[in-house]
């Protein structure tokens, strides 16, 4: 489905690339600010996209983030090739993390990633195949009636 009033941009996220980690989320934030999205929504998108980006950096080889904008919705999809998630329900629990000791020392692995995405997105869908990868989709409504 390709709409006339839709803007689509794809970003690549590399696993283990800690030095550039966060740059995709920052770029998305700047795009949204530039087109005049209300700052309360920009803040929520920034939190959720940062967490999704860091999950790719920490747990996958490579991922793709697709940003789709139209007058009603901001959609962010992230698909990665990586270890995937064995038990999504467990991964959604606040405080649960499979981060390594090294990542924890860096201040990651608080077990807040997926819960932060869920809290901030209006719609959050996640599917994963262990050993293959993870797909997640988040929607943010620009319409106040539907938004959080």
Partner 1 sequence: MTLKEIASHLNLEIITGGDHLSLEVKDGYTSDLLSDVIAHAPPACLWITLQIHVNIVAVAKLKDLAGIVIVNGRQPDEETKQKAREERIPLLLTKETAFRISGRLYQLLAKGR
Give residues with Cβ within 8 angstroms of 102, minimum separation 6.
Answer: none
Tokens 């998630």, residue located = 85
Please state, in angstroms and rounded to a whole number, the distance separating the CA atoms of residues 20 and 132. 24
Nearest approach in angstroms of CB 3 to partner 1 is 29
Residue 23 or 129 with smaller CB distance to partner 1: 23
Asked if residue 40 binds partner 1 (CB under 8 A), the reply is: no
CB atoms within 10 A of CB 16: 13
**Token digits of residue 70:** 């139209």
Helix (H, G, I), strand (E, B) or coil at 22: coil
Nearer to partner 1, 54 or 69 (CB): 54
What is the Cα–Cα distance from 7 to 33, expressed in whole angstroms? 15
Q: Count residues binding partner 1 (CB under 8 A).
A: 21
Q: With binding defined as CB under 8 A, does residue 9 bind partner 1?
A: no
Q: How far is the CB of 109 from partner 1 (least distance, A)?
A: 9
55 binds partner 1 (CB under 8 A): no
Tell me: does residue 8 bind partner 1 (CB under 8 A). Answer: no
3-state secondary structure of 95: coil
Q: Does 23 bind partner 1 (CB under 8 A)?
A: yes
- Contact status: 29 vs partner 1 (CB under 8 A): yes
Q: Helices in 35-145 by DSSP H: which ranges?
A: 39-59, 88-91, 101-105, 113-120
Give whichever of 70 and 98 is closer to partner 1, judged by the CB atom: 98
Binding positions for partner 1, rule: CB under 8 A: 18-19, 21-23, 25-26, 29, 46-47, 50-51, 54, 106-108, 110, 112-113, 116, 119
């Amino acid at each position: 489905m390709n709409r006339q009033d839709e803007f689509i941009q794809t970003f690549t996220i590399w696993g283990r690339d800690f030095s550039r980690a966060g740059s995709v989320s920052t770029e998305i934030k700047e795009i949204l600010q530039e087109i005049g999205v209300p700052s309360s929504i920009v803040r929520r998108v920034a939190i959720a996209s940062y967490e999704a980006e860091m999950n790719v950096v920490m747990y996958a080889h490579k991922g793709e983030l697709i940003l789709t904008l139209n007058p009603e919705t901001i959609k962010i999809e992230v698909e990665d090739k990586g270890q995937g998630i064995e038990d999504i329900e467990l991964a959604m629990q606040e405080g649960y993390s499979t981060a390594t000791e090294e990542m924890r020392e860096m201040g990651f692995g608080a077990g807040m990633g997926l819960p932060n995405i869920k809290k901030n997105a209006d719609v959050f869908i996640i599917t994963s195949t262990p050993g293959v990868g993870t797909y997640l989709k988040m929607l943010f409504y620009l319409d106040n009636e539907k938004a959080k």
